[in-house]
């Protein structure tokens, strides 16, 4: 970087990760400058963010809203250029004036812009786990080919990254004397709920996470523990390990964010209050450290740290995810697509909570295994699985 500021595009600026990212950026006006902000529908918040951060570009994927935004910003004397097409997301993610891209769009919609950032050799801060889950080897190959820097924002993967020795990036995790990775998860809001009450769970109950304030899709994923399943797949690709190298552990307090076990008996973990600004600040500043605005961890306030094994009967989505990465090929793509459709249907009150897993299971069992050789195959598998999930839901 031969200029004084790190210039950042925030994809999904109006979401929970986007807002937290801008909070960290605002603490360091001497270091970071916002180059572009993108949103899907939330015109009001995007407008406020543009007025505050004055980016070169803003993208809102709705033509009318884009026109309104352009007018408001011009009236405020800003020369921000407002764009509105899906391709524009790729343009602001790969622009030659950008150093760093926060990939925080939710779901498969984030794949192409995130890949565009990777192919343009950006420093890519990956929150959008679905992008990596659905395209696995193709995504990681693009990282290798472009020499992009990929840094994890998911708190667990960020914790694993922090618990690994520095040389794992060049030598590979297998030569680091590692026994396995311990991926922790809180178990979500229904950790202790009687199983016979699961079918009447409402979207509001599912979105009320005990430790984290997140977007609605990931909140439901946390309640079903599909989130941990997606994270297991994400970790396999990101750290080049097998599912058998990862142990999923319930840790309801969300203080330990994940761990690495070494062959000599050491276990290294990363701890902190459950606040996404910690992994965001870590990745933004890496390898330096900056203030994230996060309250210091008060050990006197933590009465206990507890651990348990996840039970597949309570979390069938976790089992579906574990099986899908073991099978490989198009199965993780199919799992992710079916999950997105099923979660949307649950949030729209078209299906019940327990039907999320049923829909995904049916989509997986009705899909034939296939290799995914290229991006086109990924996009086709994604589209077909969505259609199949819609059909299964309509017939329930
Ligand atoms: P969110 O729903 O709060 O925000 C999603 C963002 O994506 C919004 O800015 C929205 O405008 C944008 N978006 C949605 N659909 C879009 C589309 N079709 N095209 C373009 N933009 C679109 O979600 P979130 O909680 O911020 O999560 C974002 C990503 O980060 C997800 O992949 C999630 O799994 C991951 N993540 C989130 C957290 C968290 O604490 N929230 C933690 C770890 C990982
Ligand atoms: Mg996570």
Q: From the CA of 153, which ligand is nearest?
A: 1
Q: State how far the Cα of 211 lies from the Cα of 190, in Å rounded to an integer.
A: 13
Tracing tokens 């206990």 back to the chain, one arrives at 304
Cβ proximity of 279 and 153 under 8 Å: yes
Cβ proximity of 43 and 69 under 8 Å: yes
Q: From the CA of 347, which ligand is nearest?
A: 1
214 C-alpha to ligand 1 centroid (Å): 9
- What is the position in ligand 1's atom list of the atom closest to the CA of 219? 25
Q: Which of 106, 229, 282, 386 is the best mutation target for the ligand 1 pocket, counting ligand atoms within 8 Å of the beta carbon and taking the most?
A: 106
Q: From the CA of 186, which ligand is nearest?
A: 2
Assign 241 a pLDDT band (cuts: 50, 70, 90): very high
Cβ proximity of 34 and 54 under 8 Å: yes
69's tokens: 């935004």
pLDDT at 17: 98
- Min mean pLDDT across 90-94, 163-167, 256-260, 336-340 is at 163-167
pLDDT at 373: 94
pLDDT at 359: 98
Cβ proximity of 83 and 59 under 8 Å: yes
pLDDT at 173: 84
pLDDT at 1: 52
- What is the position in ligand 1's atom list of the atom closest to the CA of 39? 11
Q: State how far the Cα of 61 lies from the Cα of 57, in Å rounded to an integer.
A: 13
Where does ligand 1 bind, in terms of residues with CB under 6 Å? 12-18, 39-40, 42, 61, 104-106, 109, 127-130, 154, 212, 214-215, 217-218, 276
Per residue in 151-172, pLDDT (tens digit) is 999 999 999 999 999 888 888 8
Average confidence (pLDDT) over 16-43 = 98
| DSSP label of 272 | -
pTM of the model: 0.97
pLDDT at 33: 98
pLDDT at 88: 98
With the C-alpha atoms ordered 185, 188, 193, 194, is the resulting torsion angle positive or negative?
negative
Per residue in 167-195, pLDDT (tens digit) is 888 888 888 999 999 999 999 999 999 99
Q: State how far the Cα of 203 lies from the Cα of 348, in Å rounded to an integer.
A: 8
Average confidence (pLDDT) over 129-156 = 97
Average confidence (pLDDT) over 235-239 = 97
Indicate if the pLDDT at residue 2 is higher than 90: no
Residue 356 Cα distances to 4, 62, 119, 201, 368, angstroms: 48, 29, 34, 12, 20
133 C-alpha to ligand 1 centroid (Å): 15
Q: State how far the Cα of 394 lies from the Cα of 392, in Å rounded to an integer.
A: 5
Q: Which of 10, 14, 16 is the best mutation target for the ligand 1 pocket, counting ligand atoms within 8 Å of the beta carbon and taking the most?
A: 16
Q: Cα–Cα–Cα angle for 233, 239, 241, nearest 5°?
A: 70
pLDDT at 178: 95
Assign 3 a pLDDT band (cuts: 50, 70, 90): low
Average confidence (pLDDT) over 316-344 = 98
- What is the position in ligand 1's atom list of the atom closest to the CA of 130? 32
Q: State how far the Cα of 206 lies from the Cα of 222, in Å rounded to an integer.
A: 8
DSSP H or E run through 60: strand 57-60
Per residue in 199-213, pLDDT (tens digit) is 999 999 999 988 888
- What is the position in ligand 1's atom list of the atom closest to the CA of 230? 34
The residue whose CA is least distant from atom 41 of ligand 1 is 214
Cβ proximity of 335 and 342 under 8 Å: no
Task: Round the CA-based radius of gyration of the chain to a whole number and report it.
Answer: 20
**Which backbone phi and psi does 39 adopt, to 5 degrees?**
-150, 165
5 C-alpha to ligand 2 centroid (Å): 29
The residue whose CA is least distant from atom 32 of ligand 1 is 128
User: What residues form DSSP beta bridges with 256?
Assistant: 271
> β-strands 178-185, 246-250: how paired?
parallel
- What is the position in ligand 1's atom list of the atom closest to the CA of 276? 40
């Amino acid at each position: 970087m031969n200029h004084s500021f790190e210039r950042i595009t925030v994809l999904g600026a109006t979401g929970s990760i986007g807002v937290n990212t801008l909070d960290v950026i605002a603490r360091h006006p001497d270091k970071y400058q916002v180059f572009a902000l993108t949103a899907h529908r939330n015109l009001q918040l995007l407008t406020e963010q543009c007025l505050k951060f004055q980016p070169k570009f803003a993208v809102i994927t709705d033509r009318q809203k884009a026109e309104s935004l352009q007018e408001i910003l011009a009236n405020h004397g800003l020369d921000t250029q407002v764009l509105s097409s899906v391709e524009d997301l790729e343009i602001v993610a790969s622009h030659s004036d950008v150093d760093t891209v926060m990939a925080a769009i939710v779901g498969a919609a984030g794949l192409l812009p995130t890949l565009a950032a990777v192919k343009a050799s950006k420093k890519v801060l990956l929150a959008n786990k679905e992008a990596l889950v659905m395209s696995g080897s193709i995504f990681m190959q693009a990282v290798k080919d472009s020499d992009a820097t990929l840094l994890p924002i998911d708190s667990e993967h960020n914790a694993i990254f922090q618990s690994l020795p520095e040389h794992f990036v060049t030598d590979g995790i297998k030569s680091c004397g590692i026994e396995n990775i311990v991926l922790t998860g809180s178990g979500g809001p229904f950790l202790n709920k009687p199983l016979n009450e699961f079918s009447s769970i409402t979207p509001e109950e599912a979105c009320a996470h005990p430790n984290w304030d997140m977007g609605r899709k990931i909140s439901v994923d946390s309640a079903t523990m599909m989130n941990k399943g997606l994270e297991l797949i994400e970790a396999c690709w990101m750290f080049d390990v097998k599912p058998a190298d990862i142990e999923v552990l319930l840790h309801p307090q969300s203080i330990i964010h994940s761990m690495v076990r070494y062959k000599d008996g050491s276990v290294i973990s990363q701890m902190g209050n459950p606040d996404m600004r910690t992994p965001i600040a870590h990745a933004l500043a890496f390898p330096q450290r900056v203030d994230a605005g996060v309250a210091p961890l008060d050990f006197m306030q933590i009465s206990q740290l507890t651990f348990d094994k996840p039970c597949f009967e309570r979390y069938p989505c976790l089992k579906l995810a574990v099986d899908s990465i073991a099978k490989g090929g198009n199965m993780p793509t199919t799992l992710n697509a079916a999950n997105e459709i099923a979660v949307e249907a649950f949030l729209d009150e078209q299906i019940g909570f327990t039907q999320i897993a049923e829909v995904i299971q049916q989509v997986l069992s009705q899909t034939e295994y296939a290799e995914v050789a290229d991006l086109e195959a990924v996009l086709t598998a994604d589209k077909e699985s969505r259609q199949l999930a819609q059909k299964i839901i309509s017939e329930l």
